[in-house]
Amino acid sequence: AEVVPPLPPHWTQHRDETSGYDYFYNDVTGTTQWERPVADAPAPAPAPPPPTTTTPAPAPAAEPTADDRELMEWARQNPDATEVRREGKQITDVGARCLATLCPNLTKIGLNETLVTNVGAMSLAGSCPNLTAIFLSDTEVTDGCKQRMKEALPNLTIY
C-alpha cells in the first residue's frame, strides 16, 4: 500500500464539493493547490512573497457562480475539448480549476474579463500541458503569475 506522508505544517486538505476532488490549502501563505504538498526537500525553496501583500487570499471553498456551474457542465460533457471561450463571464477560480481538471487537452482558453486569479490560472497551466494560448486581460492574474505560467509552458502565449 502507498504510504501517504503527513502534510507539512500549515497545510490542510479539503474537498472541492463541485468537482469532488481534494485540494490543499496553506493558511500562512494563502496558497491553494491540487497537488499534495511535500515537506521541504533539500532543494532551495523559492523566496516567500513579501509580507506587504494587500490582496487577501481567496477563500478555498468559494461558491461557484452560475457561469462557473455552466462551464463545469460544459467541461463534463466535453472532456476532449481543445478550445474554450468564456470572455466577460463571471468565471472564478472554482470554474477554472474544474476546467483544468476535466479538460486537460485544452490548447486555447479565452478568459478575458473574468474573475480568475493566479490560483485558477496556475491550475490551468499545471493541468493543460498542450496549452499554447490563453487570454487573461482584465482578470486578477498578476504579471508574476503569468511569468510562472510561461516557465511551466514554454510554448504558451498569454494575451
3-state secondary structure of 22: strand
Tell me: the pLDDT tens digits for 51-70?
A: 554 444 444 456 889 999 99
What is the structure's pLDDT at 54?
A: 47
3-state secondary structure of 87: coil
- Asked if pLDDT for residue 41 goes beyond 70, the answer is no
d(CA 54, CA 96): 23
Sheet containing strand 157-158, strands side by side: 83-85, 108-110, 133-135, 157-158
Residues 110 and 95: beta-carbon distance below 8 Å: no
3-state secondary structure of 45: coil
- Asked if pLDDT for residue 42 goes beyond 60, the answer is no
What is the structure's pLDDT at 37?
A: 85
3-state secondary structure of 13: strand
Tell me: the pLDDT tens digits for 95-134?
A: 999 999 999 999 999 999 999 999 999 999 999 999 999 9
Higher pLDDT among residues 46 and 83, named by residue: 83
pLDDT class for 43, splitting at 50, 70, 90?
very low
Residues 103 and 84: beta-carbon distance below 8 Å: yes
Average pLDDT, the chain: 86
Residue from 124, 120, 95, 123 nearest 108 by CA: 124
What is the structure's pLDDT at 21?
A: 81
- Asked if pLDDT for residue 47 goes beyond 80, the answer is no
d(CA 19, CA 1): 26
What is the structure's pLDDT at 69?
A: 93
Structural domains in the chain? Answer: 66-158 (3.80.10.10)
Q: What angle do CA 14, 90, 129 make, to 5 degrees?
A: 60
